[in-house]
Every structure is written in structure tokens, then in C-alpha cells.
Structure 1
Amino acid sequence: MSEAISVLITGAGRGLGLATARALLRARPELHVVAAVRAGPEDLAARLATGAGAGRVHGLRCDLASLGSVRAAGETLAGMLDAGRLPPLGGIIGNAAVQTTTATQRTADGFESTFGVNVLGHYLLIRLLLDRLAPRARIVLVGSGTHFGDCRHNWGLAPGPRAAPVEVLARPWTTPDADTAGAGRAAYATSKLATVHLAHALDRRTPGTTEVFCFDPGLMPGTGLARQGTAVERAAWHSVMHLTRLLPQATGPRAAARRLAAAAVGASPGPSGSYLERGRPRPSSPASYDPAREEELWETAARLVGCPVPPTGPPVSEGGPCGTP
């Protein structure tokens, strides 16, 4: 039997996250799942901890739209690990994501909601837990083909990512179309390009200690991603859009969950830093290979969330704890 480990997964309350939590429990009988959700972690843990999952599920309250909530979650999990209440932390799956109807909505800390949750919240959570990761742990960030900005990957359903300094993208947009649904979709694509950049920057900082991947599940109609859309958009996403699953670029939550779980705890899916398109290493967009932009993202995110920003080096050399920005 393999050594017992814990895997943290964000956005575990629905859709891909919930299906992946279940897939993880099925994949390895010695594995513990830390299911992070905005509300009701105890109820979620009770739902998952049935049958084979009994005693192996731990709910964690974590609202990625609030840096204070993320810090509290990081401290809680670190305390559980240090006290031996959980096996060593062998993986982090950054799955939670939002897509809003505009690019003007704000997190509790004043950041643009999509970028704040999808990028900054995960960045802070990972930074808080880097020194708790077991040797050869894995970090898997869930990406999206929307970051390509072309019809092959998004079928024309979303604009491409916006080009602007990271500092600007992290704030509510002030462009003329910022209050439109198109801007909301562009903000989502922008956050997913930043997610690939974050994976590359993180990979450079954890050589030989942690494997880092960006996992693109494919388009998944029927999930909760459109929950903030209009009634017509939600109805289309949950009904007509199911027909797109007949196309090769699409997938369902259960199949995507099996692949995501395998990427996190199965055989290594490829070289660390890889972009995994439905589980297999593939090139990400040309714009995603930009070391200068990746470093800009890392350093700007660190400053915005209150973490130290050394120029280079592995996580253990990155200075003191992440505080309040």
C-alpha cells in the first residue's frame, strides 16, 4: 500500500470539484481529501464520507474571494498537519473558479472578482502551504482552453484574454465595455491565461521538490460555471450546450474528474510545468510562454496578497509569512 497522503481541493462542493473529490477517494484507499468550500464544509464532508470515504474526508471553510478567509483556511490546515491530524500534504488541486457577468464586480478586498478568486486566492493559499508540502508533492491548477482566445478552443463563445499590466487586470475594469457580459467572459479567459503563467512561475520555484501542472478539462456544459449568467444563458448552458459534448474538444464532469484525480495522485502525467489538455501534455497558447510576464504575475500577486517577494530561489528561501497587504 502507498504511503498515506492528504490532497486539498478547492471548489469541492459542486461540479468538477465534487466529482474529483469522489474520484480521489476511489483512486487510493489510503488517501485523505481536504474539501475546501465557501460554506457548509461539515455538510459536504458528511456527504463525501460515506462508504469507502469514511474517515478520510475533512471539510475546510475557504472563500477565495476573501484573503482573510484564505489565510484562516491556510492556518487551520497547517495546524491540522502539524498536529498529525492529517497525513502529509501530498497535493493541492486549485479547482475553484468563477465567471461573472461583468468585469466590475469586486472581491471582499476590492479586486476584480474573477481574477481575485481564480488567481489571487489560489496564489495566497499555495504560498501559505508551500512549506507544508510533502516531498514530490503535486500542485494542479485547473485551466481552460479559453486562454488561447481562438475559435478552435472556445468555439467563439468567449473573447480572448485582455492584454494589460497584471496590476490593472487585478482591479475592476474601467474599459468602456466593463459592465457587459462580454467583458465578464474576457476576464475569465484572462484569469486562465494568468493561471498558466502562475503554474510556470511556481514550477521554477520548486525544482526537484514539487511537480506543477495546469489541467485543462475541456469545455464542460452543465457545470456551475454559468451560475451568475442570465436566466437565458443558464438555460442554454444546461440544455442546448450539452449537445457540444459530441464534439472532440468537450468532456463531461465525471470523465474530467477521473483525469484530474489521476493528474494529482496517479503516475506522473508529464514533465513538471506541463499543460495537460484533458490529461495529456500539450502546448498551451503562445502567449502563455512568457517568463517576464510570469515573473510580473508572481511578484504583483505577492505584493497584492501580502507575501514576501524574493527575486529567485525555492519556497524555503522566500522570507517570512504572508501577512496583510
Structure 2
Amino acid sequence: MPGTIIITGANGSLAIPAVQHLLTKYSEYTAVLTVRNTSELDPNTGRLHEAIAPFKSRTSVRRLNLSSLAEVKDFAQIVATEIASGTLPPLKSIICNAYYWNLAGEAETTDDDLDKTFQVNHISHAALVLRLLGSFRPSPGEDLGRIVLFGSDAHWPGKNGLEKYPPTIPEDLEVLVKPPPKNDDLAGRGFHQYALSKLAVIMWMYALNRHLSKNENLKGITAVAINPGNLSDSRALRTNTPWILRSMSRFIIRPLKPLLSLMDPTMRTSAEAGVDVAELAVGETYAGEEGFFTLLQKDDSSPESQDAEKQEKLWKKTLEWAQISPMDTAMAIE
């Protein structure tokens, strides 16, 4: 049955192979691909256009800046209208792939006066998902649709080599969106903020599944959070990072990937991860799955991420940050 798949950050290292796999293997689907810069002169967007050239009738590349909640709202309204009118098929999956981190500069604030890392990675994706829940197939079914969120081993204290400050949800949740100054520890504090955003993504995923199950008309939509692995060729290692990490990426991680994979089973290429993400989003094998995955294996997330009380507290605060009222979503919210 035809359906629409939305992928954010669609010109990323992992996203392009995911898009190619989806369009090649699943001919019934239409892809709405969002990027910050839609110009083919942008090298990353240019590569995306090359990848989708054989599938132009089933794809569209659209601008979406996740640093702006106003843009998220406008984009969601346009897509919802197109689905309601039949211009696009109903949603099948939203793949929340876009990310941001800054390990080489001071913390940045968005137009919404929120920390950029936390807004792009968590809040704006939450807003996008909640605004588009009503655009999934109108009749509840066993596999109505899937939402794929991105976690990371960084959410679990002690599991990532870049960690300097263990991530934990503070009592005052406002600290997440208005973090303290980095005080010259750009890499350490920057990675800490990234890890916190991934912890929030995973906690919100659990809460989202709980709330979806309480809404009769949304049963059959499920959410997963995947740790796609440590990607040896990811542009993330060379973007907003200190020279030492860029050098490690070029001279150690990429050349020694086969050896490093023996020590870290999650070390792999972006293309391998992209195929897994695509299958998790629409593959029949994963119909109805929910929860946390490492690669394509169901896994336990950190103990703190499984704290239901903290999940609900974060859920309510996310609604506030994302500017979601009962009028903005098909989900019944208090």
C-alpha cells in the first residue's frame, strides 16, 4: 500500500544510503526529504540529488530548518494539507535523522531562545512528530506507521570515549535548553550537551509509545530509538569538531576501521547503518516494534532513561518547549 516517508537531514552521511535503499527496495513509497539548504550547489544536497535522480517521480527535496519551531510548524502544515488532499499518500514513517552538535565553539541559541543542540536533536523532532500524527493512515491497524528516532551510546554514562561529563537529567529541566557556559571546555561541554539530547530522545520515545497506546485512533503507530553505531566515515566527526578529532577521523578511524571493528562491534560504515535504519522504518520484520535498538538488535537503554517518572516529566516539558497545544496534534494531551 502506498505511503509517504519523511526523512530529516536527508543529505547526511547515513541518510543518503538509507534513501537509496528505501527507494530501490520499496517502490510503493514516496519520500519527502528535508535539508537546511535545498540548492544543488551545496555539495551534500548535490549528492542527494544524484542519489534520487532515478526516482524523481517519488521524491521531493524540501527546506526544513530545525532551529526554528516556526519552520517546523509551517512544514508540518504543508505536508498535512498535501496528505489530506491526496497530493501525498498517508504517512508511513518519520525518520528523525537530522542532528546537531558543536564541540569546537560556544553554545548556540536558536530563534526560539533554546540551546541549538537540544532543539535540533530533540525538541523540533518532537514537534514535527506530534504535529503529523494525524497524517498517518486514518484507519487504526496493526502497523499503522513507525517513527524512528536516533539515540546513541553517548546517552549511557561511561559508554562513549568522548564523554567527559556523564549525562543525567537535571532536576530543573530548563538547564537542558539553557546550559551553563562552556568555560573554555568546548569539546567536553559540547559533547555533554549532545549526550543529554540523546538521553532525552530515548526517554521521550518511551513516553511517546505510552501515550500513543492510550489513544485509540493512534494505536498501531510505534516509535523506536536506534543507536546506529559508531560510523567510521560519518561527516559528524569532521563538522564542528576540534582538530584532534578531525585528525583521528582521517588518519586512524577510517584507515583502521576493519581493526577497530574487532574491538567495537558497532563500528561500521554509514551505508551499513543507513540500510538498517530504512528497514527499521518500513521493513516487515520490524512491524509493530518499539523501544531501544542497538543496530537492529532490541537492547536495553540506560537505567535512567527507563525511569517512567522522569519520562513523564520530560514529556510534559517537551510539549511546552515544542509549543504543542491540544489543537496542534491528533494525540489527546492534557
**TM-score (norm: length of structure 1):** 0.88
The alpha-carbon distance between structure 1 residues 282 and 92, as it changes in their structure 2 partners (threshold 3 A), is same
Partner of 1:248: helix, strand, or coil? coil
1:192 aligned partner, one-letter code? K
2:35 maps to what in 1?
Answer: 37
Structure 1 unaligned runs (5+)? 320-325
**Aligned residue in 2 for 1:191:** 197
Alpha carbons 1:178, 1:184 under 8 Å: kept? no
> Within 5 Å, which residues of 2 pair with 1:1-325?
3-40=1-38, 46-51=49-54, 53-101=55-103, 102=105, 104-134=107-137, 135=140, 136-150=144-158, 153-155=159-161, 157=163, 159-164=165-170, 165-171=172-178, 173-174=179-180, 177=183, 180-207=186-213, 208-226=219-237, 227-242=239-254, 243=256, 244-246=260-262, 247-269=264-286, 272-308=289-325, 315-318=330-333
Q: CA deviation at 1:59?
A: 1.3
Q: Distance in 1 between matches of 2:169 and 2:146?
A: 30
Provide Cα deviations, 1:141-182, integer angstroms capped at 9, x if missing partner: 0110111122xx3235554314313221112x2156475210
After superposing the two structures, state which structure 1 stretch, 158-167 or 24-33, moved more.
158-167
1:323 paired residue number: none
Distance, in Å, in 2 between the alignment partners of 1:159 and 1:248 is: 24
Deviates most, 21-30 or 115-124: 21-30
- In structure 2, give the amino acid aligned to 1:278: L
Render the CA deviation track for 1:9-60: whole Å, top value 9, x for unaligned.
1110121122211111122111111111111177667434322x23111112
Which amino acid is the alignment partner of residue 113 of structure 2?
G
Aligned-pair distance for 1:273?
3.0
Q: Distance in 2 between matches of 1:288 and 1:126?
A: 20
Taking the aligned partners of 1:239 and 1:309, their CA distance within structure 2 comes to 51
Higher-RCO chain (CA-CA 8 Å, sequence separation at least 6): 2
Q: Deviations over 1:301-320 (max 9, x none)?
A: 1112211279xxx943238x
Amino acid at match of 1:221: S
Contact 1:146 1:192 (8 Å CA) reproduced: yes
Deviation at 1:228, TM superposition (A): 0.7
Cα distance between partner residues in 1 of 2:99 and 2:283: 24
User: Which segment is superposed worse, 104-113 or 7-16?
Assistant: 104-113
Please tell me the residue identity of whatever aligns with 2:118: F
Q: Pick closer, same or farther for the CA change 1:141–1:57 going to 2, 3 Å.
A: same
Gaps of 5+ in 2: 214-218
1:140 Cα deviation after fit:
0.7
Q: Do the aligned residues in 2 keep the contact of 1:37 with 1:61 (CA within 8 Å)?
A: yes
8 Å Cα contact 1:270-1:281 kept in structure 2: no
173-182 or 40-49, larger mean C-alpha shift: 40-49
The answer as to whether partners of 2:162 and 2:188 remain within 8 angstroms in 1 is no
Identity %: 27
- Please say if residues 115 and 169 of structure 1, whose CA atoms lie closer than 8 Å, have aligned partners that are also in contact: yes
What one-letter code is carried by the residue in structure 1 that aligns with 2:116? S
CA distance in 2, matches of 1:80, 1:309: 22
Structure 1 residue 130: Cα displacement: 1.0
- The one-letter amino acid of 2:228's match is P
Deviation at 1:268, TM superposition (A): 4.2
TM-score relative to the length of structure 2: 0.86
- Are the aligned partners of 1:5 and 1:31 in contact in 2 as well (CA < 8 Å)? yes
